[in-house]
Chains A and B, each alone.
Chain A
């Protein structure tokens, strides 16, 4: 009869875990829908501002924004890492951090200096642990990504770029492909690559060749500055919404797997428990029968 009480306790504790994971699975499923919705809603803004930036790069301006100018030597690199605030979402954060770490090692071996901006708690924890140089951070973003919270941290990086502290800026995040698949990606944010400056639709091809320019109100420089900063912010914001959608779906999948595992463990333990109970009963019976026979 030894161990039957222990088995029963174990079954109880696994059942409790299963309750938690199942609840988290359902919460993640409903949040996932909302996160995907937000991701889709953020897209038009990204497209439009990309078009504007593309028009602007074709306009005949005297002022060229520093974000567009490729630098010859790359000494210092700024990195933006987008992760989730909370864990229990499978390998999502691990994947993107591993990707970032391998790139960082590569850059370090090439003698480049690195500074990191962390969006999300998990990345921050990781970066402090490996003693990376964290220059700015945003954590506790909640479920709705808020532009307002991003501005400060992003500005630190953008200022670093305009003040020549960085020669290049990269962003790491999880791209949402579908519910079952998310992919850690690295993108060059600054200087803005050519394909980021091409518009999705070709507007006014004819007038673009004739050396036109905008009327800027009040002046070219502040207006162009504003547009470029907003464009980069929009790119980061989009990365964040994608990462959040990825987070929720990864969590849903991970929690579903955990619930399923718990279910099969419970089945197995119940079987063992019943067997041991049966064995105990059989033993007791045979003792009684044996005793009666002896009398």
Chain B
């Protein structure tokens, strides 16, 4: 009977923790859960808060997680931490915003004109150089 299991805490931006641990406490949605090795498979959302980790021969460690998902397998535990603050209403609002932006962009794109113009000029200069180079090669 193993007394340790493998824990991974990852977010989309980085890997936060990875290693063997003896037990951990995580802030699950329905209340804190403590997990020891050979826990039955479980899948749950977690709230933002501290995850307490006890690794072998080490003091307890605290890792902050801003919400996410917790997957428990008998020997492997994975915490998928969110990098953004999420809720259904918030997601909805963002979706509407993205849609609106798409519609607005169809209508007018004047604000980006100056930048686009400057870029177009530089682009022209660069392609001129390339063309000259090509011509030169052909001549020789």
Q: Which of B71, B102, B126 has the most CB of A within 10 A?
A: B102
Interface flag for B83 (CB, 8 Å): yes
Within 8 A of B (CB), among A41-73: 41-42, 44-45, 48-49, 51-52, 55-56, 59
Whether the Cβ atoms of A204 and B95 lie closer than 8 Å is no
**A21 / chain B contacts, CB cutoff of 8 Å:** 126
Residue among A121, A135, A155 making CB contact with B94, cutoff 8 Å:
A155
**B62 / chain A contacts, CB cutoff of 8 Å:** none
Interface flag for B125 (CB, 8 Å): yes
Q: Which single residue of chain A is at the shortest CB-CB distance from B119?
A: A87
Interface flag for B98 (CB, 8 Å): yes
Whether the Cβ atoms of B13 and A41 lie closer than 8 Å is yes
**B41 / chain A contacts, CB cutoff of 8 Å:** 55, 59, 212-215
| B contacts with A, residue count (CB < 8 A) | 55
Given known A-B contacts A17-B129, A88-B126, A214-B41, A147 and B98 have beta carbons under 8 A apart: no
Tell me whether chain A's interface is mostly helix, strand or loop, or mixed: helix
* A216 to B40 CA separation, bound complex (whole angstroms): 11
* A131 to B57 CA separation, bound complex (whole angstroms): 63
* A138 to B102 CA separation, bound complex (whole angstroms): 8
Interface flag for B80 (CB, 8 Å): yes
Interface flag for B136 (CB, 8 Å): yes
* A148 to B10 CA separation, bound complex (whole angstroms): 17
Whether the Cβ atoms of B40 and A156 lie closer than 8 Å is no
Whether the Cβ atoms of A135 and B8 lie closer than 8 Å is no
Interface flag for B48 (CB, 8 Å): no
Whether the Cβ atoms of B45 and A147 lie closer than 8 Å is no
Whether the Cβ atoms of B126 and A42 lie closer than 8 Å is no
Whether the Cβ atoms of B133 and A136 lie closer than 8 Å is no
**A48 / chain B contacts, CB cutoff of 8 Å:** 8, 10, 78, 80
Whether the Cβ atoms of A156 and B99 lie closer than 8 Å is yes
Whether the Cβ atoms of A155 and B71 lie closer than 8 Å is no
Within 8 A of B (CB), among A97-152: 118, 121, 124-125, 128, 134-139, 146-148, 151-152
New A-B contacts (4) at CB < 8 Å, excluding given A41-B13, A124-B102: A52-B69, A124-B105, A223-B69, A264-B136
Q: List 29 A-B contacts (CB under 8 A).
A: A17-B122, A38-B13, A45-B11, A45-B80, A48-B80, A49-B80, A52-B78, A118-B102, A125-B109, A128-B106, A134-B102, A137-B102, A138-B98, A139-B101, A139-B105, A148-B83, A152-B93, A152-B95, A153-B95, A204-B74, A217-B28, A217-B42, A224-B43, A230-B80, A258-B129, A258-B130, A265-B132, A265-B133, A265-B136
